[in-house]
Structure 1
Amino acid sequence: MTITLRPGTTVMFTGDSITDSQRLESEDGLGFGYPLRVAGEWNFRHPDRPVTWLNTGIAGHKASDLEARWQADVLDAHPDVVSILVGVNDMGWHTIAPDGHVILAEDFAAGYDRLLAPLAEAGTELILIEPFLLPISGTVVAGHAHIDDGVRKEWRADLDPKIQVVRELARTYGAHLLAADGMFAELAAASGPEHWAADGVHPTPAGHAALAEAWLRLVA
């Protein structure tokens, strides 16, 4: 079943930099990524069903960072639908991080669950977007660090259990799952991963368009 967006529905996007997409620099606060594309396409298709679109993504945030601001940034807005994309910063960035901190899958699961529980209790519709990592070959630049294939394989081994956490939580809470990791794997196999995310993490305009199209298939 799809989520029905009725006139007056409030939709909240939240997460990390992929959702943030420079929202504070944008006129409507939605940024320049998939939330803006979703809102624009919905408003084009359904001028008779106005929806309030909100974005509280913040670049660099982990699930624990979302939890720290959850009440003020999400719950207090009383959204009807909440769309969450988080997890890539909970991945094995510790291989280059100065603090060497490792976020275990079980800790990620517990924190994510604490995000979802109050929303489910309030009857909020949930869309969970899998974190994803595209298989970029060779050395690329992520922030200020040069990442080789070996490190990226370590990241993949660390991220896969966290993707599974998101899938399991979606089942537990009856949430709609946007299987972004699998989607991008299929797209990358057909046309090359750089077309969708030049650094394997942050979507290109085409990658944001793919996320938006997949998101819109979950709503009616």
Structure 2
Amino acid sequence: MALQLPTRGCLLFQGDSITASQRDPDDGAALGHGFVSRIARALASSHPQLRVVNRGVSGDRVSDLVRRWQEDCLALQPSVVSVLVGVNDTWRRFDRDDPTPVEAYERSYRNILTRSARQDSHLVLVEPFLVPFRDEQWAWREDLDQRIAAVRRLSREFDAPLLAADGLLNQAVHAHGGPAALTNDGVHLTEAGHVVLADAWLALADLS
């Protein structure tokens, strides 16, 4: 399913630190240094009147997006909303013993998508991903895989393009010579990892 980008309006990226990528939260125009800024540069010539906005917040789980969705999404009236969230919902189970049940994750995710759909925003869902960097991270897969399945269900439910980032990045490990080429810790991406993600996102879009 291709995403036909509008020629004008707001293209909003939402999520956690992977999306934020060190953006300055006090600068509403800041895009960070990751895949969002790369997408913005790629669209600058073909879609000069399409404003790219980054509202990713480091550490966010899906429940955090629910709380700030009015201010950081609906108030901006975006034409397109791209969402990448979920790895922190898994991570907090393992480092803080603070799990988010998968059912609650899916319910909260559906909440934000429903609210945006009512505003006639087009949706793009990016799977949460993990490129195991340490042996113990393989145990995270049991939790994260259920969240990936939830995002896939929501993609069908909302007829939204899906970027299957988990398989994509794990496959790219082999072409790039190992996980360290794509990620610093299994979650946060290197420059090469952001390139892979940005290129895949742009491949979803109909830029004709």
- TM-score (normalised: structure 2): 0.93
- Alignment correspondent of 2:121: 124
Partner of 1:9: helix, strand, or coil?
Answer: strand
**Residues in 1 aligned to 2:138 and 2:101: alpha-carbon distance in whole angstroms:** 17
Counterpart contact for 1:21–1:32, Cα < 8 Å: yes
- Alignment correspondent of 2:16: 16
Counterpart contact for 2:74–2:119, Cα < 8 Å: no
Partner of 1:35: helix, strand, or coil?
Answer: helix
**Residues in 1 aligned to 2:148 and 2:79: alpha-carbon distance in whole angstroms:** 25
Determine if the alignment matches structure 1 residue 185 to structure 2 residue 170: yes
Determine if the alignment matches structure 1 residue 103 to structure 2 residue 89: no
- Alignment correspondent of 1:205: 191
Partner of 1:59: helix, strand, or coil?
Answer: coil
Counterpart contact for 2:6–2:79, Cα < 8 Å: no
TM-fit CA distance, 1:27 = 8.8
- Alignment correspondent of 1:4: 4
**Residues in 2 aligned to 1:202 and 1:53: alpha-carbon distance in whole angstroms:** 21
**Residues in 2 aligned to 1:6 and 1:120: alpha-carbon distance in whole angstroms:** 16
Q: How does 1:138-157 map to 2 (within 5 A)?
A: 149-150=135-136, 152-157=137-142
**Residues in 2 aligned to 1:211 and 1:9: alpha-carbon distance in whole angstroms:** 23
What letter is aligned with 2:79? D
Gaps of 5+ in 1: 138-148
After superposition, the Cα gap between the structure-2 partners of 1:18 and 1:92, relative to the gap in structure 1 and judged at 3 Å, is closer
- Alignment correspondent of 1:167: 152
Gaps of 5+ in 2: none
Partner of 2:71: helix, strand, or coil?
Answer: helix
Cα displacement string for residues 142-168 of structure 1 (whole angstroms, at most 9, x for unaligned residues): xxxxxxx23x12211111100110111
**Residues in 1 aligned to 2:30 and 2:205: alpha-carbon distance in whole angstroms:** 22
TM-fit CA distance, 1:10 = 1.0
Partner of 2:24: helix, strand, or coil?
Answer: helix
Cα displacement string for residues 80-138 of structure 1 (whole angstroms, at most 9, x for unaligned residues): 000000001000432221xx22111111000100010011122211111001000224x
TM-fit CA distance, 1:186 = 0.7
What is the count of residue pairs matched by the alignment?
A: 204
Partner of 2:99: helix, strand, or coil?
Answer: coil
- Alignment correspondent of 2:40: 39
Runs of 4+ in 1 over 3 A off after TM superposition: 25-28
**Backbone CA RMSD of aligned residues:** 1.6
Counterpart contact for 1:62–1:90, Cα < 8 Å: yes
